[in-house]
Amino acid sequence: MGLTFPLLATVTWLAALGAVALRRPVYAALSLVVALLGLAAIFLTLEAQFLGMVQILVYVGAVVVLVVFVIQFTRNDEVPLTGLAFRPVSLGVGIAVLVTGGLIACIAGTPEWAVKPPEGPPPGMRQIGEGLMGVYVPALEAMGVLLTVALIGAVLIAMRGRSTSLH
Amino acid sequence: MTALDQIFVNLKHAIVALLPVAWQTPGSMVISAAAIVGTFAGLFAATTWIERKGLARLQNRMGPNRVGPFGLFQPIADGLKMLTKEDIIPRQADKLAHTLAPIVAVAPVIVAYAVLPVGRNMVAVNLEAGLVFFFALGGMKEIGVFMAGWGSRNKFSLLGSMRAIAQMISYEIPLVVSTLVVVMAVGSLSLVDMVEAQTGYHAGLLARWHVFTPWGLGGFLLFLIAATAESNRSPFDLPEGESEIIAGHMLEYSGFKYALFFLGEYMGLFAISGLGITLFLGGWTAPFSFLAWVPSWLWFFGKLLCFIAFFVWLRGTMPRLRADQLMGFAWKFMLPMVLVNLLVVAFWQFTRGWEFFGAGVWRWVLGGGMFAGAAWGLARLPRVGQPTGPRVYRFAE
């Protein structure tokens, strides 16, 4: 371990900061890519291979690509470089304080800080698969329904747009 | 025979053994990485020659024949030309994105080779989630394309990268889902396990490759189409579209950065072909039991060369698709078909216990019928209610 975690954490943290603070949307998106890759690397150091891979596949390969796709459709001068901040500012600050404070309170309330090495070999693909198909199958199915509904909704919106333009 | 089969493995072990103990692990990694980069970059050089010669033959031309015998040294000349060309960054371009884009486009593709077994015991790392690793890195390619298109600040570049990204995300879904049938049948995500599952022979003769099952054959065809689209090869080469948008996202690149994009594209093509070989065509195993004495790596690279020849043939034969045809095909045909194929593989797995006479034939007929029926129905569906009859062609008069 040694320097790996501090290095990865610093890169991830700086990149995440960049994703929020950078003025140009494209730079923010690319910074988000770096942050997500750093997160995936941290997963890998924790021997959560599958989670790390899926992190890259889903977030870099799909979510950021979607963001990037939207950026491409907008012209540079259409995007306000200022005024992307939350208005009123007090609301944004309030939410930030609430979320961060809640997290800190939870962490501070953790009874035990010492990190123990896990017992036995780390859970592999088989355990994840059995978990998804066993205990968590209702959650998995519910997610499937949710995604299907979202997909149908997207198709409906697209169809409505076309019919109004035709008639 | 095993000596020849394991020659590269033994060579690596011999070299690693020469190193001091502390250096053996990193040394082993460096040797594997160097072997992958060297082999596949060499194959890229060879492929440029094969492709130009092959296309020339298809178009009744000679192809490169000035440099060396049969023009064999053409790749070296091309490489030198690319290296010595001026490296131009447009003044209006975003310098950082423009410079980083070729690197982002190439690096993940090379890393993806790490999980590809190119021979018996010849895999850099056997990851438990190897297939997911492969696709995760494949998904990073799109970021490189976007950086190139957006960073060049040229409308053709932007249009090209938009086309490329739209095409890649549309075909990535059928590509990934078409490989799930193998995951379902093998019960593992490791590419080494997938090759192991295809060892052994039917009736002591024909290999137990996945392509010899109904879901394997269907899955292989769907995978091949999606892989062609994913690697932007003709007939899915809209992102480059020379006659429409010049070279798409590569328009503003010159010299070696341009060559890097090509390297990435061809390396991606080899990687995805290698994945197809691993998943459906038995990886490094021989097709017939009496050919099992041929070294395993020779089988893998032989199959890979067949894939390359097929892609050259395809490029010389097929016209380019229209953008709406491309998207419609991905979402209205490929996606339902890969889902149907999941049902076929489930059927195949559940009927493994069938013991009665002719059970194998029945499984084939029912499974293959499901796939073929769905394909026929999906192909007919858009034409329901439309007049049928001989198609009328109108040419410029």
Q: What is the pLDDT of residues A55-87, one digit of tens each?
A: 888 888 888 888 887 777 776 655 565 555 566
CB atoms within 10 A of CB B299: 23
Provide, rounded to the nearest whole percent, the portion of chain B with pLDDT above 70: 99
> Which residues of B have a CB under 8 Å from any CB of A?
94, 97, 127-129, 132-133, 135-140, 142-143, 146-147, 149-150, 158, 161-162, 165-166, 169, 172, 188-189
Q: State which residue of chain A sits closest to B166, comparing Cα positions.
A: A69
In this complex, which of B128, B132, B150 lies closest to A57 when CB atoms are compared? B132
Query: What is the per-residue pLDDT for B184?
Result: 87
Reported for A122-125, long-range contacts at CB under 8 A and 24+ positions apart, including other chains, are: A122/A47, A122/A48, A124/B128, A125/A50, A125/B128, A125/B129, A125/B188, A125/B189
Local confidence band at B169 (pLDDT 50, 70, 90 cut-offs): confident
Provide, rounded to the nearest whole percent, the portion of chain B with pLDDT above 90: 9
Please give the radius of gyration of chain A, using alpha carbons only, rounded to the nearest integer. Answer: 21
Query: What is the per-residue pLDDT for B231?
Result: 84
B329-350 burial, b for 16+ CB within 10 Å, e for fewer?
Answer: bbeebbbbbbebbbebbeebee
Using a CB–CB cutoff of 8 Å, tell me whether A67 touches chain B: no
Confidence check: pLDDT of A163 > 70: no
Query: What is the per-residue pLDDT for A100?
Result: 92
Question: Can you tell me the distance from the alpha carbon of B178 to that of B326, in angstroms, rounded to the nearest whole number?
Answer: 18
CB atoms within 10 A of CB B20: 7
Local confidence band at B307 (pLDDT 50, 70, 90 cut-offs): very high
Contact A60 B133 (CB under 8 A): no
Provide CB contacts within 8 A for B103, sequence distance 6+: B144, B260
Write down the mean pLDDT value for chain B: 85
Confidence check: pLDDT of A164 > 60: no
pTM (2 d.p.)? 0.84
| DSSP sequence for B354-373 | --STTHHHHHHHHHHHHHHH
Q: State which residue of chain A sits closest to B187, comparing Cα positions.
A: A126
Confidence check: pLDDT of B215 > 70: yes
Local confidence band at A166 (pLDDT 50, 70, 90 cut-offs): very low
Query: What is the per-residue pLDDT for B378?
Result: 85
Query: What is the per-residue pLDDT for B272?
Result: 92
Query: What is the per-residue pLDDT for A127?
Result: 81
Confidence check: pLDDT of B314 > 80: yes
Contact B132 A64 (CB under 8 A): no
Per CB-CB distance under 8 Å, the chain A contacts of B169 are: 62, 65-66, 69
Inter-chain CB pairs, A–B, below 8 Å: 73
Using a CB–CB cutoff of 8 Å, tell me whether A8 touches chain B: no
Confidence check: pLDDT of A161 > 70: no
Nearest Cα of chain A lies from the Cα of B119 at a distance, in angstroms, of 24
Which pair of tokens denotes residue B373? 């029926």
Note the pLDDT tens digit of each residue in B382-397. 777 777 777 777 776 6
Which pair of tokens denotes residue B53? 């010669």
Task: Sketch the domain layout of chain B as residue ranges.
Answer: 2-352
Which pair of tokens denotes residue A146? 């949710």
Question: Can you tell me the distance from the alpha carbon of B290 to that of B283, in angstroms, rounded to the nearest whole number?
Answer: 17
Contact A125 B165 (CB under 8 A): no
CA angle B140, B221, B267 (to 5 degrees): 35
Local confidence band at B148 (pLDDT 50, 70, 90 cut-offs): confident
Highest mean pLDDT among A129-133, B221-225, B291-295, B388-392: B221-225
**Strand partners for B206:** B202, B288
Confidence check: pLDDT of A53 > 80: yes
